[in-house]
Structure 1
Amino acid sequence: MAMHVPIGEAKARLSELVAAAMRGEDVVLDSVDAPQVRLVMVPPSDVEQRAAKRRSAIGMFADLVGDRDIDIRALKADDRWDEHYGRKFGDPD
């Protein structure tokens, strides 16, 4: 069921209404005669979704990963990445 809030009241309760929308609740802002605006959560970006999937997939290997950052950008920045690439494909220079 949607939470209907008058626009005037929404000004005072904006942070509360945003938090409700972030939890997945349906928040609708009404004017005097009709609903005008619906607050919805912006979906996470593709990078964040992939990182979350990667974290969940690596969950069973958590003891091996330890506290390393498993974000793809961090993995590519790892010093061992260049060494591994060089052994596999030769020196790029």
Structure 2
Amino acid sequence: MPETRQPKSSPRRVGVQEFATNLTSFLKQVEEGHRFVLMEHHRAVAEIGPPSADAEVRKPGALRGKIRTSHDFDFLPADVLKAVDDGE
């Protein structure tokens, strides 16, 4: 079972399999400020930790009304349509 007394300054090395098996527990620790280096075959493959302070939170609908599609968005020219139909 994962340790909960890890200093916040140095990341703890954890095997990918152990991390996956105890994902919920590790994510709770990440929320508390802990960082982890994920290891696979004695090689660091990823680092996980809390998001940086400047990480933006996605705002659903923020681009509403700002994106337009071309009037011919779903139109294929005859030569392209023929090539697709003929399997060329």
TM over 0.5: no
Q: State the TM-score, normalized to the length of structure 2.
A: 0.44
More helix per residue: 1
Q: State the TM-score, normalized to the length of structure 1.
A: 0.42
Higher relative contact order, structure no. (Cα contacts within 8 Å, ≥ 6 residues apart) = 2
